[in-house]
Amino acid sequence: MTGDSTRSVHEAEPFDEHTGSLTTPIYETSTFGFARAGDVPVAVAGFGAKGYTYSRWENPTVVTLENKLAAFEHGGDGAAFSSGMAAISTSIFSFLNKGSHTLAIRDLYGGTFGLLNHLLPELGFSTDLVETTDFGALERGVRKNTSMVYIESPTNPTMKLVDIAKAAKLAHSNGAILLVDNTFASPINQNPFDLGADVVLHSATKYLNGHADLIAGAAVASKENTHKIKMMRRELGGTMDPLPAWLVLRGMKTMAIRVRQQNASAMALAEFLSTHRRVAAVHYPGLKSHPQHQLARKQMKGFGGMLSFEVKGTTKDTMKFTESVKVATLAASLGGVETLVSQPYNMTHAQMSAKDREKTGIPETLVRISVGIEDEEDLVGDFRQALAAV
Ligand SMILES: Cc1ncc(COP(=O)(O)O)c(C=O)c1O
């Protein structure tokens, strides 16, 4: 089983040995009974060592998803969460030590930015957020007590890249670990674990599930690091429920074909927008004009279904565009089958101060696009008519 589509359908999901059910059963239970009292201490102490105990710890449907996630991200094990932010915050808390320092890039998802820029410092943990595309800034940012380096690539919504292999080397040379949010790329387009990352994170709400109908998160790491994350998950309580786990398993069956279509349509839209007179700039790693196109070719298998562009005009013109699309919908979130457009300045990145947004390169005229699986011609046509309305 080597092809991404074959693996999307079959990986980690043998048919149920008890009933022959073709699809993974939903074990919709909070707790598990024991036939013998002697089994209880083993189950409680061990991590699924012998059977299951309580679904905040582990659940068979969720474990099946975790095995599938680990296989797709080439890690030792996976941990599924009730949201992407639960996966991110629990993973970060798993590796924080007293006196430790966390180094991150500035271009982060708004929630992660808030966590690293506000919450952790308020709790007494030092963090630094540095310029994303200046690798020297990351090198200079490492301190003796840096225990974690945190990056996203491509970044949200600016589509900047970070050299993942170099960031892993930098972290490891300081005895730190590298965490990578791989939400934007999806495992079909990029595998940070193969480039040296220690923890790969996802908002499973997005490409993994792919249908914009649930909130979920995932972390993939070595067996040892995943165990650490799962122990913290027990404490913080952000475990995924069995029903969303089953839905993500179902969504993942079409992940490869969805993502391939999204890659192709994103490229077509990027090329169309690049030549349009009402467009000031297009940010897509697949374009030769992208300043890090060579890095994208090196570390990505596909360029993804996310892009952003700047409207040549005012904030009002930009609002006119996002209100005028008909096939696409003005909405936050990404990675689903429906094409979405959003204005990061007052949606996904509204938590950022205007000054931070300016530093990061998020003008009010920036539009982020999450390309769905609609026909390419319909999408290009829709964007053409919406730009004409500006
Ligand atoms: C790159 C990225 N990481 C993390 C998250 C947070 O995920 P969730 O909304 O599932 O908590 C998002 C949400 O939009 C995201 O875009």
Q: Which pLDDT does position 44 carry in this prediction? A: 63
Q: What are phi and psi of 255, to 5 degrees?
A: -60, -50
Structure-token match 């697949």, residue found: 286
Domain regions of the chain by residue span: 4-252, 255-388
Q: Which pLDDT does position 51 carry in this prediction? A: 77
Q: Which pLDDT does position 47 carry in this prediction? A: 52
- pLDDT tens per residue, range 282-306: 999 999 999 999 999 999 999 999 9
Q: Which atom of ligand 1 is the closest one to the Cα of 206?
A: 10
Partnered with residue 3 across adjacent β-strands are none
- Round to whole Å and give the CA distance between 270 and 34: 57
Q: Which pLDDT does position 2 carry in this prediction? A: 85
Given the residues 52, 109, 150, 284, the one annotated as active site: 109
- Round to whole Å and give the CA distance between 136 and 62: 40
Nearest CA to ligand 1 atom 15: 109
Structure-token match 């506000």, residue found: 118
Residue 312 has pLDDT above 90, yes or no: yes
* 4-252 CATH: 3.40.640.10
Q: What is the dihedral of CA 170, 173, 179, 182, to 10 degrees?
A: 50
- Round to whole Å and give the CA distance between 228 and 262: 35
Q: What is the pTM of this model?
A: 0.96
Q: Which pLDDT does position 49 carry in this prediction? A: 52
Q: From the CB of 360, is ligand 1 less than 6 Å away?
A: no
Q: From the CB of 111, is ligand 1 less than 6 Å away?
A: yes
Average pLDDT rounded to a whole number, residues 383-390 = 97
Looking at domain 255-388, its CATH superfamily turns out to be Aspartate Aminotransferase, domain 1 (3.90.1150.10)
In Å, how far are 47, 96, 97, 224 from 93, measured between CA atoms?
A: 20, 5, 9, 16
Q: From the CB of 82, is ligand 1 less than 6 Å away?
A: no
Given the residues 206, 233, 253, 258, the one annotated as active site: 206
Q: Which pLDDT does position 14 carry in this prediction? A: 82
Q: Counting beta carbons within 10 angstroms of the beta carbon of residue 3, is it exposed (0 to 12), middle (13 to 18) or buried (19 or more)?
A: exposed
Average pLDDT rounded to a whole number, residues 117-139 = 96
- Round to whole Å and give the CA distance between 133 and 130: 9
- Round to whole Å and give the CA distance between 376 and 383: 11
Query: How far does residue 304's CA lie from ligand 1's centre (Å)?
Result: 16
Query: How far does residue 203's CA lie from ligand 1's centre (Å)?
Result: 5
Q: Which pLDDT does position 17 carry in this prediction? A: 81
Give the DSSP per-residue string, 45-60: HSSSTTS--BTTT--H
Q: From the CB of 117, is ligand 1 less than 6 Å away?
A: no
Q: Which pLDDT does position 50 carry in this prediction? A: 61
Distance from chain centroid for Cα 269? 22
Query: How far does residue 85's CA lie from ligand 1's centre (Å)?
Result: 6
Contact 216, 34 (CB under 8 A): no
Q: Counting beta carbons within 10 angstroms of the beta carbon of residue 288, is it exposed (0 to 12), middle (13 to 18) or buried (19 or more)?
A: exposed
Nearest CA to ligand 1 atom 6: 84
Q: What is the length of the chain?
A: 390
Distance from chain centroid for Cα 175? 25
